[in-house]
């Protein structure tokens, strides 16, 4: 008891000190929380007339941008790939508006909780101008709200869920993306199956992930719109290993000419292998999507990859810039590209840099002021931006991608584009 | 243990191998490489260095203690040999990695790892340096023991505090920047680490403080103890008031990000308090507790969402009672089938219920009602009336003779974590109060009777059915409330947030904190929820640390950090008995 | 009036309503499925074979749970990690290099035997280490304490393996011998499934012999019955408990090899879900009973495979395969409502509950 008491009194003193500190702070904790730079000699001190507020970087300070990508856990290759894209963009660019650029890398955890926590961490730092992220749409939904309410902006390199740019759903001002919308990929794979392969019946399997479910749904709608028939639309669970019952069920319902399962590596490999062993699916064409495009996936699928297709963003980009990019990637990280959204991240970062240069106000001594609302306006007004992934033009809800979907197959262990 | 006068080299051999294996494990799983560049004190020590050399230091010190106290040379030798042996597995690793491509099997045995283990030298030279460094550390660790206790403890305390502050430099420097000034923050921190000079000062300060406290704690305590009882009571009330004030001030001090972390902790405290009733009070092992969390969250989501899935556009406040009632009802419905099951049967069935709820939430079957894999979006944040503005308007208008303010009053949305904190705090305070009162009540004693022995409890006239169901219902209600907060805080929920991990996490945190103890729940949540969130950059190793923590904690302190009063008594008696029996044994041995 | 109302056993009524509702749903779904005649006989037998193969693995893992529960009355949550560790190690260090060198294709049987032995040994080592460090000191601790250390050990091994050998899926080589089908029972059955079933039967018979006939087996049984009396009879309790862990882990190691042969990919997290399923199977069969674990495993595998199509398809539920775990756990609840001690379990004595 006495000990508790002594502890409590220490706490009391600490509390008093801390609360004194608390009162000492200026109450301006709202978004325009800006470091006041003292520049007495300047004849006309800069006045911020931005609707949200300005970020000011002193002459020797780097511009700070954040990334919120999935860099740990089972999906980490997706996020690391994008983060490398951002880092290479920073390296290539050198200085922006006369300042260095510093990246604050956060982890979106590929979950709603992770996205929100990363978002709150970012908006608690007033020196960060904006975010490249998130990797996963599920993390993007809560994070875009946090980012938006705090007056920041985010450009996602790999969110593809349609809800994120749907103002009636989860879109918030300040959200943009350079990745394609799922609807585009669903339409492309349906087009390939129906028109190129000439198959009129299809089945689709998702694994309950928001991404795969959304994409499967988009495929179903597009395939039906083309005049095809969906004979089975079913699902497995993440962590399932015995897919034969599900596949037998699909076979019993059709069997379909085309089977689309845009799930992730583990379940994708199991489905690919076991579909060959189920009676009735011998003539069915199997197809997965970008969640299953990785070296580990190719190894895990092994020989079963013969006759299989993958849909995903077209990363057979032309041009010297992409050659340089891949060389730098290999040089810096000692590996070929890990996933498919590095170029989208590169373009997103450069879009941000272009806007910083066009809206930033540079004083004579090198102090840089950037209006947050001006940044948003500039990003949404991006037209004809020339990036690796194509010519990007943003619409009013931030869909900036120049979407190109390709179909690939595995030849000698490598994914090779075969269409279009 | 019998301490021999002679040198027993098996002791340092065993300790050295254990230390070496730990160091080897840390290296090959990649945590050393990851944290090698992460400075704690700028230009002095990094986290990777601490991790790599801590086993040599700690275990050499343990080995040295095995030597007879009078034989200082023997203990130095033990320390030295232990330190020496710690390097051996690492050197074997260096040799193997130089000879073969180990990376194809173990991805984390990278060239970077070998480079840092050999200090950038050639394998042979590097190995020798490593050997020398660990031996020296072992020797120093053994020598440290010669210092008198009253010097040892302040030094250790100073070291621990300095390194801890070093780990959290980034967050602290951000806070200092906002609370004081940029220049102040830069004066203390350099990048994401403490400045050397500040670290030295901090170390000295903490050590001196600890030294003084150790010297004078008896007189101070005596002085407090001899205060007149009335004054003591006044002081106690004062302390409670200050604590409450502190609780209210936390968001201002903590800022956005820390408030967010505290809110997450609070949500788990709320769940922990609920599970504490089910497991801690009533002894019903529930491994599917996440079910009620999910039910609370989905109720809040469906009742309040502005999206297409909403059934009513209730406000947060109107929905809260529904969430609690629905969760409590679910607690009863899921409780009935398991009434007659005991122990581990109960555990697996409740685990099954948790999974059933999650799979149903995920399923295409219920997609038209609760969104399936796409979850429920656009859940509004709570809104409160801006009392300050209303009261101000009231007086201003009264003074000016204008019409008084009428409903609808001006409102504010509790968007920021700093604001949402108060809601979580209120929920936790309520749950705490209810738990505390229930624990002391007749019902609480009935629960404990059921926990100790169901048959005896039934024999003395306790109605098992209603007692157990009430425990399930109250526990579920807390969890439902927690889920409702979670949904509103996140503004969108997905089925993936309701995995088995949450049930396990909540169970672990109440046991780590001390089962049946209310402060224990808070401590457990801070350790198992707050800490990992603050150490996000090591997320890859979070669960590994978590696993080690659980095992070590249960071996070292099975009653938890803050044991409940009952448990403390039990453990105490058990200890006494053990001591007594040990004494008899040693007596018999003599 | 009031007293009569109070006499009604609401709980009993509620339980009857649950049972009736489930039975109605099952009968309805089954009838509709069968009347619709969606599946051919071949497909029905396929469902059964898949279920038996999956169930065999569950059975082998469940034995480890049941053995440990029998002697220690603790849920060994880390048992799934024993299953994972053996085959994961053997795949990375043995199967893949052997396959890359082409040796495995030339000597498939010898290769598989080596893999199986190594997998068993690693599983056993992991189990013994876990028992020694995390469980031995806690024999007399309150029951929740070893449960928590078991959860801790499970997290530890999973993440140690992830750090050690990597977090991605590792392929397990496809062997010519195991590929293809054999006509049997009027249908085509995968060779690998036949191997799984035969190996499981051999292991179960061997285990039965070991437990019933050998001296060590008798020691295990007597420790399970009463540790103190066993100690008085001169049985080394600690050693016997270690042997119990070894036996369970060896079974898990074999189950791991079967798993790798069937699914041809391994992963550090592969033990968690089968572990939980096997625990369910052990409880279903009656925890502490070895034949119970085997039957529970088989039942669970079959219900997961046949259940969704048989019961749910007829009810017109969309994506009903998603709900297979719901069926598994509902069945568990149902069995435990009817028979609280599981299918083959003896009614629990007070101390075991």
Cross-chain Cβ contact A107/B257 below 8 Å: no
Is the pLDDT at C245 greater than 80? The verdict is: yes
Chain B residue nearest residue A148, CA to CA: B415
Is residue B205 in some structural domain? yes
Distances (CA, A) of C221 to A340, B350, B469, C205, C217: 57, 29, 37, 17, 6
Going by their DSSP bridges, the two strands A285-288 and A101-107 should be labelled as unpaired
Structure tokens at B387: 């009392």
Chain C residue nearest residue A237, CA to CA: C322
Q: Which residues contact C130 (CB under 8 A, 6 or more apart)?
A: C78, C81, C82, C153, C157, C245
- pLDDT for B384 equals 86
- pLDDT for C13 equals 84
Q: Which residues contact B395 (CB under 8 A, 6 or more apart)?
A: none
Chain center to CA of B25: 24
pLDDT band at B3 (very low <50, low <70, confident <90, very high): very low
Which residue among B197, B226, B255 closes a domain?
A: B226
Please report the DSSP string for B47-84 in residue order. HHHHHHHHHHHHHHHHHHHTS-TT-HHHHHHHHHHHHH
- DSSP code, position A412: T
Cross-chain Cβ contact C149/B554 below 8 Å: yes
C-alpha B406/C-alpha B327 separation (Å) is: 36
Best probe of the B interface among C70, C125, C147, by most B CBs < 10 A, is C147
Domains and CATH numbers, chain C: 38-352 (1.10.3470)
**For A266, which of C190, C267, C308 is closest by C-beta distance?**
C267
Q: Where are the beta strands (DSSP E) in A108-200?
A: 128-133, 154-156, 175-177
Is residue A306 less than 8 Å (CB to CB) from chain C?
A: no
pLDDT tens-digit series, residues A48-101? 888 899 999 988 889 999 999 998 877 788 899 999 999 999 999 989 998 999
Which residue among B146, B165, B187 closes a domain?
A: B146
Exposure string over B67-87, b if 16+ CB within 10 A, otherwise e: beeebeebbbbbbbbbbbbbb
Is residue C321 less than 8 Å (CB to CB) from chain A?
A: yes
C-alpha B490/C-alpha A68 separation (Å) is: 17
**For B174, which of A29, A124, A214 is closest by C-beta distance?**
A124
- pLDDT for B572 equals 54
Q: Mean per-residue pLDDT for B278-304?
A: 93
B359 contact residues in C (CB cutoff 8 A): 322-323, 325-326
Count CA atoms within 13 Å of residue A72 on its CB side: 22
Is residue B340 less than 8 Å (CB to CB) from chain C?
A: yes
The answer on B563 and B427 residing in a single domain is: yes
Is the pLDDT at B586 greater than 80? The verdict is: no
**For A296, which of C169, C269, C308 is closest by C-beta distance?**
C169
pLDDT band at B576 (very low <50, low <70, confident <90, very high): low
Is residue B581 in some structural domain? no
pLDDT band at B5 (very low <50, low <70, confident <90, very high): low
pLDDT tens-digit series, residues C332-344? 888 888 787 888 8
**For B224, which of A2, A19, A168 is closest by C-beta distance?**
A2
Is residue B584 in some structural domain? no
The answer on B140 and B158 residing in a single domain is: no
- pLDDT for A419 equals 80
**For A300, which of C54, C171, C272 is closest by C-beta distance?**
C171
The answer on B398 and B497 residing in a single domain is: yes
Note whether C69 and C244 are within 8 A (CB).
no
**For B544, which of C151, C160, C318 is closest by C-beta distance?**
C160
- C positions 189-248 inside 8 Å of A (CB): 190
Q: Mean per-residue pLDDT for C219-238?
A: 90
Is residue B509 less than 8 Å (CB to CB) from chain C?
A: no
- pLDDT for A109 equals 86
The answer on B324 and B185 residing in a single domain is: no
User: 3-state secondary structure string, B431-465?
Assistant: HHHHHHHHHHCHHHHHHHHHHHCHHHHHHCCCCHH
pLDDT tens-digit series, residues B40-58? 888 888 999 999 999 999 9
End-to-end CA distance of chain B: 13
Note whether A58 and A36 are within 8 A (CB).
no
| Least confident interval from A18-22, C157-161, C165-169, C217-221 | A18-22
C-alpha B525/C-alpha B506 separation (Å) is: 8
- pLDDT for B340 equals 79
Is residue C168 less than 8 Å (CB to CB) from chain A?
A: yes
Is residue B590 in some structural domain? no
Is residue B177 in some structural domain? yes
The answer on B92 and B109 residing in a single domain is: yes
List chains touching B (3+ CB pairs under 8 A). Answer: A, C
A139 contact residues in B (CB cutoff 8 A): none
Note whether C303 and A269 are within 8 A (CB).
no
- C positions 38-97 inside 8 Å of A (CB): 38-40, 42-43, 46-47, 50-51, 54
How far off is chain B from C145, nearest CA to CA, in Å?
Answer: 6
φ, ψ dihedrals at A119, nearest 5°: -60, -45
The answer on B202 and B219 residing in a single domain is: yes
Cross-chain Cβ contact C323/B541 below 8 Å: no
Cross-chain Cβ contact A244/C50 below 8 Å: yes
Q: Which residues contact B297 (CB under 8 A, 6 or more apart)?
A: B483, B484, B486, B487, B493, B497, B498
pLDDT tens-digit series, residues B303-323? 999 888 888 888 999 999 999
**For B490, which of A116, A163, A213 is closest by C-beta distance?**
A116
What's the structural domain count of chain B?
A: 3
Note whether C154 and C268 are within 8 A (CB).
no
End-to-end CA distance of chain A: 77
Q: Mean per-residue pLDDT for C46-69?
A: 92
Cross-chain Cβ contact C93/B25 below 8 Å: no
How far off is chain B from C343, nearest CA to CA, in Å?
Answer: 13
Chain center to CA of A194: 29
- C positions 143-162 inside 8 Å of A (CB): none
The answer on B247 and B371 residing in a single domain is: yes
Structure tokens at B251: 């968001």
C-alpha B163/C-alpha B46 separation (Å) is: 10
Find the domain containing B177 and state its range: 151-226
Structure tokens at B261: 């972390």
The answer on B270 and B220 residing in a single domain is: no
Cross-chain Cβ contact A170/B492 below 8 Å: yes
The answer on B138 and B160 residing in a single domain is: no
**For B221, which of A6, A125, A163 is closest by C-beta distance?**
A6
Structure tokens at B97: 């990695």
C-alpha A208/C-alpha B375 separation (Å) is: 10
Place of tokens 């394998």: B123
| Residue B340 belongs to domain with CATH number | 1.10.3470
Is the pLDDT at B1 greater than 60? The verdict is: no
User: CA B188, B193, B197: angle at the middle one, nearest 5?
Assistant: 50
**For B360, which of C145, C326, C348 is closest by C-beta distance?**
C326
Handedness of CA B179, B185, B189, B192 (dihedral sign): positive
A22 contact residues in B (CB cutoff 8 A): 179, 249, 252-253
Question: Which helix (H) or strand (E) element contains residue C57?
Answer: helix C41-72
C-alpha B106/C-alpha B293 separation (Å) is: 39
Is residue A297 less than 8 Å (CB to CB) from chain C?
A: yes
pLDDT tens-digit series, residues B98-133? 888 888 888 888 888 999 999 888 999 999 999 999
Is residue B552 in some structural domain? yes
How far off is chain C from A263, nearest CA to CA, in Å?
Answer: 14
User: CA C181, C185, C191: angle at the middle one, nearest 5?
Assistant: 25
- pLDDT for C74 equals 87
Is residue C171 less than 8 Å (CB to CB) from chain A?
A: yes
pLDDT band at B571 (very low <50, low <70, confident <90, very high): low
Please report the DSSP string for B106-134 in residue order. -TT--HHHHHHHTTTS-HHHHHHHHHHHH
A120 contact residues in B (CB cutoff 8 A): 256-257, 259-260, 417
Q: Where are the beta strands (DSSP E) in chain C?
A: 170-171, 181-184, 187-190, 265-266
C-alpha B73/C-alpha B71 separation (Å) is: 5
Handedness of CA A292, A298, A304, A310 (dihedral sign): positive
Average pLDDT, consecutive stretches of 10 residues, N- to C-terminus, chain A (420 residues): 46 41 37 46 71 90 92 83 94 91 90 91 91 90 92 93 88 92 92 94 92 92 94 91 92 91 92 91 92 87 92 86 92 85 94 94 90 94 91 92 90 86
Is the pLDDT at B569 greater than 70? The verdict is: no
Chain center to CA of A308: 26
- pLDDT for A239 equals 87
User: CA A316, A320, A326: angle at the middle one, nearest 5?
Assistant: 60
Handedness of CA C228, C230, C236, C240 (dihedral sign): negative
pLDDT tens-digit series, residues B369-393? 998 889 998 899 898 888 878 888 8
C304 contact residues in A (CB cutoff 8 A): 242, 245
The answer on B434 and B301 residing in a single domain is: yes
Cross-chain Cβ contact B253/A214 below 8 Å: no
Best probe of the B interface among C144, C171, C272, C285, by most B CBs < 10 A, is C144
Is residue B187 less than 8 Å (CB to CB) from chain C?
A: no
Share the mean pLDDT of chain C: 88
Domains and CATH numbers, chain A: 54-179+318-404 (3.40.50.2300), 183-306 (3.40.50.2300)
Q: What is the crossing angle of helices B518-525 and B229-275, to 10°?
A: 60
Chain C residue nearest residue B358, CA to CA: C326
User: 3-state secondary structure string, A198-221?
Assistant: CCCEEEEEECCCHHHHHHHHHHHH
Is residue A26 less than 8 Å (CB to CB) from chain C?
A: no
How far off is chain C from A216, nearest CA to CA, in Å?
Answer: 13
Cross-chain Cβ contact B511/C69 below 8 Å: no
Cross-chain Cβ contact A5/B239 below 8 Å: yes
A235 contact residues in B (CB cutoff 8 A): 363-364
Is residue B414 in some structural domain? yes
Is residue B427 in some structural domain? yes
pLDDT tens-digit series, residues B498-548? 999 899 999 999 989 988 899 999 999 999 999 988 888 788 888 899 899
Determine if residue A239 is left, alpha or beta; phi over 0 gives left, psi from -120 to 50 gives alpha, anything else beta. left
Interface A-B, measured as beta-carbon pairs within 8 A, has a size of 148
Which residue among B104, B128, B146 closes a domain?
A: B146
Share the mean pLDDT of chain B: 87
Cross-chain Cβ contact A25/B252 below 8 Å: yes
Is residue C179 less than 8 Å (CB to CB) from chain A?
A: no
Chain center to CA of A149: 20
The answer on B528 and B406 residing in a single domain is: yes
Note whether A352 and A155 are within 8 A (CB).
yes
Cross-chain Cβ contact A12/B238 below 8 Å: yes
Interface A-C, measured as beta-carbon pairs within 8 A, has a size of 100
pLDDT tens-digit series, residues B332-358? 999 988 887 877 788 888 999 999 999
- pLDDT for A60 equals 86
Place of tokens 């001899």: B226
The answer on B171 and B61 residing in a single domain is: no
pLDDT tens-digit series, residues C117-157? 999 999 999 999 999 999 998 888 888 889 889 999 999 99
């Amino acid at each position: 008891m006495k000990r508790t008491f002594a502890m409590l009194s220490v706490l009391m003193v600490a509390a008093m000190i801390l609360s004194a500190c608390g009162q000492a702070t200026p109450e301006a904790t709202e978004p325009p929380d800006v470091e006041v730079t003292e520049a007495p000699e300047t004849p006309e001190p800069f006045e911020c007339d931005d609707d949200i507020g300005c970020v000011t970087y002193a002459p020797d300070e780097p511009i700070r941008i954040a990334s919120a990508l999935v860099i740990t856990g089972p999906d980490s290759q997706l996020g690391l790939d994008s983060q490398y894209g951002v880092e290479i963009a920073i390296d290539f660019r050198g200085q922006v508006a006369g300042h260095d650029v510093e990246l604050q890398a956060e982890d979106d955890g590929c979950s709603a909780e992770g996205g929100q926590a990363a978002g709150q961490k970012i908006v608690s730092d007033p020196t960060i101008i904006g975010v490249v992220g998130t990797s996963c749409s599920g993390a993007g939904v809560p994070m875009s709200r946090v980012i938006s309410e705090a007056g920041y902006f985010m450009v996602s390199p790999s969110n593809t869920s349609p809800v994120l740019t749907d103002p009636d759903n989860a879109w918030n001002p300040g959200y943009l993306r350079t990745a394609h919308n799922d609807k585009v990929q669903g339409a492309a794979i349906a087009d390939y199956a129906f028109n190129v392969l000439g198959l009129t019946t299809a089945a689709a399997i998702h694994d309950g992930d928001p991404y795969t479910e959304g994409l499967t749904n988009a495929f179903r709608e597009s395939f039906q719109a083309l005049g095809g028939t969906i004979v089975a639309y079913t699902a497995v669970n993440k962590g399932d290993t015995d897919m034969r019952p599900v596949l037998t069920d699909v076979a019993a319902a059709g069997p379909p000419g085309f089977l689309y399962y845009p799930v992730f590596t583990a379940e994708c490999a199991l489905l690919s292998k076991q579909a060959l062993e189920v009676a009735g699916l011998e003539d069915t064409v199997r197809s997965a999507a970008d969640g299953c495009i990785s070296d580990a996936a190719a190894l895990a699928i092994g020989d079963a990859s013969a006759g299989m297709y993958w849909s995903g963003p077209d990363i057979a980009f032309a041009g010297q810039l992409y050659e340089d990019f891949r060389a730098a990637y290999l040089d810096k990280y000692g590996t070929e590209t890990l996933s498919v959204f590095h170029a989208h991240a590169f373009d997103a970062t450069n879009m941000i840099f272009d806007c910083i240069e066009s809206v930033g106000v540079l004083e004579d001594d090198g102090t840089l002021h950037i209006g947050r609302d001006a940044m948003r306006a500039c990003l949404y007004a991006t037209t004809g931006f020339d990036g690796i992934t194509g010519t990007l033009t943003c619409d009013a809800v931030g869909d900036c991608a120049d979407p190109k979907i390709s179909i690939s197959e595995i030849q000698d262990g490598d994914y090779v584009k075969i269409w279009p | 243990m019998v301490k021999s006068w002679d040198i027993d080299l098996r002791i340092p051999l065993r300790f050295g191998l254990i230390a070496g294996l730990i160091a080897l494990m840390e290296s090959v799983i990649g945590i050393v490489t990851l944290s090698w560049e992460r400075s704690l004190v700028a230009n002095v020590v990094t986290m990777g260095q601490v991790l790599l050399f801590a086993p040599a230091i700690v275990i050499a010190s343990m080995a040295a203690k095995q030597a007879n106290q009078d034989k200082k040379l023997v203990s130095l030798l033990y320390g030295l040999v232990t330190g020496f042996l710690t390097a051996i597995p690492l050197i074997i690793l260096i040799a193997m990695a130089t000879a073969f491509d180990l990376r194809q099997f173990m991805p984390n045995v990278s060239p970077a790892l070998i480079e840092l283990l050999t200090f950038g030298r050639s394998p042979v030279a590097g190995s020798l340096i490593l050997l020398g460094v660990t031996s020296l550390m072992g020797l120093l660790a053994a020598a440290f023991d010669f210092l008198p206790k009253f010097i040892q403890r302040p030094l250790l305390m100073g070291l621990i505090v300095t390194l801890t502050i070093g780990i959290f430099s980034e967050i602290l420097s951000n806070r200092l920047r906002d609370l004081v000034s940029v220049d102040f923050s830069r004066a203390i921190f350099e990048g994401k680490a403490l400045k050397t000079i500040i670290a030295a000062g901090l170390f000295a300060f903490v050590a001196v403080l600890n030294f003084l406290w150790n010297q004078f704690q008896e007189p101070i305590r005596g002085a407090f103890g001899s205060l007149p009882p009335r004054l003591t009571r006044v002081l106690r009330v004062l302390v409670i008031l200050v604590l409450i004030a502190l609780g209210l001030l936390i968001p201002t001090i903590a800022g956005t990000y820390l408030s967010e972390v505290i809110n997450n902790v609070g949500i788990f405290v709320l769940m922990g308090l609920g599970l504490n009733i089910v497991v801690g009070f009533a002894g019903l092992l529930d491994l599917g507790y996440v079910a009620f969390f999910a039910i609370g969250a989905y109720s809040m989501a469906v009742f309040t969402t502005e999206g297409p899935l909403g059934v009513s556009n209730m406000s947060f406040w109107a929905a809260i009672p529904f969430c609690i009632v629905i969760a409590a009802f679910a607690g009863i419905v899921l409780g009935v089938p398991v009434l007659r099951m005991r122990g581990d049967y109960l555990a697996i069935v409740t685990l099954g219920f948790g999974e059933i709820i999650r799979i149903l939430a995920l399923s295409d079957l219920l997609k038209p009602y609760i969104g399936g894999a796409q979850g429920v979006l656009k859940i509004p944040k709570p809104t409160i009336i801006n009392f300050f503005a209303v009261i101000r308007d009231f007086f201003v208008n009264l003074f000016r003779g204008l019409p008084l303010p009428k409903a609808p009053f001006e409102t504010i949305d509790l968007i920021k974590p700093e604001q949402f904190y108060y809601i979580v705090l209120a929920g936790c305070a309520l749950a705490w109060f209810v738990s505390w009162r229930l624990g002391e009540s007749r019902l609480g004693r009935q629960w404990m009777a059921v926990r100790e022995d169901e048959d005896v409890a039934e024999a003395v006239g306790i109605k098992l059915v209603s007692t157990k169901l009430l425990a399930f219902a109250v526990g579920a209600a807390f969890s439902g409330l927690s889920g409702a907060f979670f949904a509103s805080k996140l503004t969108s929920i997905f089925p993936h947030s309701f995995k088995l991990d949450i049930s396990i996490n909540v169970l672990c945190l109440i046991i780590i904190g001390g089962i049946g103890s209310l402060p224990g729940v808070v401590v457990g949540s801070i350790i198992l929820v707050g800490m990992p969130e603050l150490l996000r950059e090591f997320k890859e190793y979070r669960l590994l640390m978590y696993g080690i923590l659980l095992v070590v904690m249960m071996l070292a302190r099975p009653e938890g950090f803050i044991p409940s009063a009952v448990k403390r008594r039990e453990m105490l008696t058990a200890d006494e008995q053990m001591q007594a029996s040990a004494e008899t044994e040693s007596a018999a041995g003599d | 009036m009031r007293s009569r109302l109070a006499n009604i056993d609401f709980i009993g009524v509620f339980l009857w309503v649950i049972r009736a509702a489930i039975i109605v749903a099952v009968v309805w779904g089954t009838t509709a499925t069968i009347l619709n005649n969606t599946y051919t006989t071949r497909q029905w037998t396929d469902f059964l074979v898949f279920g038996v193969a999956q169930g065999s693995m569950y059975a082998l893992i469940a034995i480890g749970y049941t053995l440990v529960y029998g002697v220690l009355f603790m849920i060994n949550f880390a048992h799934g990690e024993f299953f994972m560790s053996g085959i994961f190690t053997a795949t990375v260090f043995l199967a893949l290099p052997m396959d890359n060198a082409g040796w495995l294709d030339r000597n498939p049987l010898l290769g598989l035997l080596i893999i199986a032995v190594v997998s068993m040994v690693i599983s056993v080592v992991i189990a013994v280490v876990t028992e020694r460090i995390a469980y031995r000191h806690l024999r007399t601790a309150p029951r929740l304490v070893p449960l928590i250390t078991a959860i801790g050990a499970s997290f530890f091994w999973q993440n140690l393996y992830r750090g050690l050998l990597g977090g991605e899926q590792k392929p397990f080589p496809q062997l010519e011998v195991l590929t293809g089908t054999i006509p049997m029972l009027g249908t085509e059955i995968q060779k690998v499934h036949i191997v799984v079933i035969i190996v499981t039967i051999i292991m179960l018979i061997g285990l039965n012999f070991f437990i019933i006939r050998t001296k060590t087996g008798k020691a295990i049984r007597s420790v399970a019955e009463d540790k103190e009396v066993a100690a008085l009879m001169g049985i080394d309790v600690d050693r016997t408990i270690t042997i119990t862990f070894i036996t369970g882990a060896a079974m898990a190691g074999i189950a791991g090899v079967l798993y790798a042969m069937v699914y041809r990919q391994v992963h550090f997290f592969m033990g968690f879900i089968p572990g939980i399923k096997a625990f369910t199977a052990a409880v279903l069969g009656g925890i502490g009973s070895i034949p119970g674990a085997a039957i529970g495993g088989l039942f669970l595998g079959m219900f997961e495979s046949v259940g969704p199509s048989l019961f749910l398809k007829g009810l017109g539920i969309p994506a009903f395969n998603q709900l297979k775990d719901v069926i598994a756990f509902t069945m568990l609840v149902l069995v435990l409502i009817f028979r609280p001690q599981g299918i083959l379990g003896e009614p629990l004595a007070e101390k075991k509950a």
